[in-house]
Amino acid sequence: MQLINASIITIGDELLIGQTIDTNSAFISQELNKIGIWVHHRLAVGDDWDEIWNALDEESRNSEIIILTGGLGPTADDITKPLLCKYFGGQLVLNEKVLEHIKYLFEKVYLRSGPLLESNKKQAEVPDTCTVIPNLRGTAPGMHFQKGGKSFFSLPGVPAEMKGLMTEEVLPWLKNHFELPAIVHKTFFTAGQGESFIADKIKDWEASLSPNIRLAYLPAYGMVKLRLTAKGENATDLENQMIPYVEKLKDLIKDYLVAEEDVPMEVVIGRILKSINKTLATAESCTGGYIAHLITSVSGSSQYYKGSIVSYANEVKETVLGVKRETLKTSGAVSEETVLQMISGVIVKLNVDYAIATSGIMGPDGGSKEKPVGTVWVAVGNKKKTVTKQFHFRFDRERNIQQTSMYALNMLRKFILADLQPNNL
């Protein structure tokens, strides 16, 4: 079966100077990969006629599918549509259906008074060589072109609009018009050891993999995801082929395995708490509510998460959480004694089953010889028992906060699982 390649071209000066982060190409790549299309190349180009034109020429030599995002707005710097009109040998014509949709958005959705601006009306102009892809979420329609046996899709740069067109229009079209190979993924989420340690532990197993099965290491803050990918003609056959490899891998990484799917730690924590009908609260100092943010980013977290006390100042630690003034004076805010008392305080204050407490020095300032930047104390516990651990991170402030949060959540996961063991009940 022939491998189908795709190229993704994101357009905009704001991408090149770092003003806007390109999340579009990541989403498109993931969705194409799911249906068996290999992303051969991803590139960003500025709002420059020659650069866009040359990118179209170059990518169409290597890929059967070219997907563009951006440059379809109503302002003068949005040059994608007139360029595509010339590239595919057409002329701009007014599409009445698109115009009616734009009017509807301005009158009924945006509730704008007065007539449409000419710049808004011009968004209803499309090359007569394209098939219009209706954009229900915005004013700029998508466009589909064919040239030299290659398929070109031009989509809006607004992520929500692009995602709608990809999932509802582009992906179904691709699946109907290409004979695509089967791709099966299996992801394992590990925490507590770095990439090099995991790689060394499974090196013999990795060397034994079948040629059509590939392993990818996806390291992040305090965790490593291992993704197995198998390609072939039949998904069921591929899944059966992967079974012995999967079982062996699970045995090798069992001490560090968090989940057998690609989910974040906060989702794993939520599932555990819901399954045992228990509640959680956080007492955060150095993480400043970031752990609470992660937990509450999961839909349904109100079932198990009660809240957070962000005790950034020592005064709050003392007056709200009940940390002893003497502890803060003798041991300091960044100490085992302090996080132990923070845990006790938040469990009582918010009446929960489990809690996390963090206190540390995130940097770049605030460190000392005894407690350098990156020194962190984390505690997790319940009304009967608390476990603490000191960490020494070496990163910048943002990464230290993220690292602390991930390690704290993993400590909680392991604490709850140990707490559920029969000999601990």
Give the domain CATH number at 305: 3.90.950.20
Q: Which of 134, 159, 177 is the last residue of a domain?
A: 177
Alpha-carbon distance 399 to 76, whole Å?
39
| Pair 270, 393 in one domain | yes
| Pair 297, 405 in one domain | yes
Structure tokens at 29: 């790549």
| Pair 143, 221 in one domain | no
Residue 86 reports pLDDT greater than 60? yes
Report the number of distinct structural domains present in the chain: 3
| Pair 77, 147 in one domain | yes
Domain containing residue 24: 5-177
Q: Say if strands 280-284 and 305-310 run parallel, antiparallel, or are unpaired.
A: parallel
Give the domain CATH number at 201: 3.30.70.2860
Alpha-carbon distance 75 to 54, whole Å?
23
Residue 398 reports pLDDT greater than 90? yes
| Pair 223, 280 in one domain | no
Alpha-carbon distance 342 to 324, whole Å?
10
Q: Are 235 and 228 in contact (CB under 8 A)?
A: no
| Pair 36, 172 in one domain | yes
Residue by residue, DSSP assigns 42-110 as EEEE-S-HHHHHHHHHHHHHH-SEEEEES--SSSTT--HHHHHHHHTT--EEE-HHHHHHHHHIIIIIS
Q: Which of 226, 259, 292 is the last residue of a domain?
A: 259
Average pLDDT, the chain: 94
| Pair 83, 166 in one domain | yes
| Pair 293, 414 in one domain | yes
pLDDT for 291: 98
360 vs 35, more confident: 360
pLDDT for 164: 96
Q: How do residues 335-365 score in pLDDT, each as one tens digit?
A: 999 999 999 999 999 999 999 999 999 999 9
313 vs 120, more confident: 313
| Pair 12, 155 in one domain | yes
In angstroms, the Cα distances linking 176 to 172, 173, 179, 180, 193 are 6, 5, 8, 9, 43
pLDDT for 425: 43
Q: How do residues 167-201 score in pLDDT, each as one tens digit?
A: 999 999 999 999 998 889 999 999 989 999 999 99
**Distant-in-sequence, close-in-space partners of 392: CB < 8 Å, separation ≥ 6:** 372, 374, 375, 376
370 band by pLDDT with thresholds 50, 70 and 90: very high
| Pair 194, 307 in one domain | no
% of the chain beyond a pLDDT of 90: 87
pLDDT for 1: 59
Q: How do residues 48-74 score in pLDDT, each as one tens digit?
A: 999 999 999 999 999 999 999 998 887
Q: Which of 177, 195, 224 is the last residue of a domain?
A: 177
2 vs 102, more confident: 102
What is the rounded radius of gyration, in angstroms, for the C-alpha atoms of the chain?
27
| Pair 25, 161 in one domain | yes
| Pair 240, 140 in one domain | no
Give the domain CATH number at 50: 3.40.980.10
Alpha-carbon distance 346 to 306, whole Å?
11
51 vs 221, more confident: 51
3 band by pLDDT with thresholds 50, 70 and 90: confident
116-144 average pLDDT score = 93
* Nearest one of 130, 152, 149, 129 to 141, comparing CA atoms: 130
Structure tokens at 372: 């350098």
Does the N-terminal peptide bond of residue 364 adopt cis geometry, omega within 30 degrees of 0? Answer: yes
120 vs 7, more confident: 7
